[in-house]
Chains A and B, each alone.
Chain A
């Protein structure tokens, strides 16, 4: 499974756009990129997933360059409630084995008023 590297922590202010970049130089051809969010005392929650180019949903956007060796999670206009740990995962979907989910250390985002 590809190893991921992301910043340990980031600070932002309410209303700003936050971009968290994840490096995954050894990503394999059949790997997808998935981001999870985790609040204290809760399990991680799925945010967004992509394979290439750009994916957008109601919560975030995910930008993946052509070489797929990195990805950027973009959170528009963050609020205090977006303070959480964000994990970048790289893994493949195997119909016989399910999704392979390996978490790294994550990025601790602190949103300030």
Chain B
């Protein structure tokens, strides 16, 4: 089974520039998550999709971050404009829809450096 694919792996941009990250979840997984992980901290949930609908985006800074999941499969996360404090690893994860013992599978993440 192919894992969660993310691209790019690394990105360096200047503050105030825009950036986009792409995620391809495991085939058939209805739930997709985007997390932000700052160095030394646990992952922080930015947004959760169930198919192509948003379940939770309460911690997404909506003035600069946006995310979409077209057709309930791939997803993109965009930052516009970026700030220095956005430097972090952005993790995408997916899981099957609900139920017992449903684990989430994570991609390797995109490391963003804002200079």
Contact = CB atoms under 8 A, between A and B. Distances in A.
Interface in B83-106: 91, 93, 95, 97-106
Contacts of A96: 50, 98
A32 B101 CA distance: 9
Interface stretch (A15-23, A68-76, A101-109): A101-109
B43 interface: yes
A99 B95 contact: yes
B108 interface: yes
Interface in A24-49: 32, 34, 41-46, 49
B108 A93 contact: no
Contacts, number: 74
Contact of B103 (A43, A46, A97, A104): A46
B62 interface: no
A37 B95 CA distance: 17
Interface string B1-40: 0001000000000000000000000000011010100000
A44 B43 contact: yes
Nearest to A47: B103
A43 B23 CA distance: 13
Please classify the interface of chain A as helix (H, G, I), strand (E, B), loop, or mixed, using the class held by over half of its residues.
loop
B72 interface: no
Contacts of A49: 101, 103
A106 B37 CA distance: 12
B104 A103 contact: no
A93 B105 CA distance: 15
B107 A43 contact: yes
B79 to A, nearest CB: 19
B104 A95 contact: no
Contacts of B101: 49
Nearest to A97: B55
A2 to B, nearest CB: 15
A101 B104 CA distance: 9
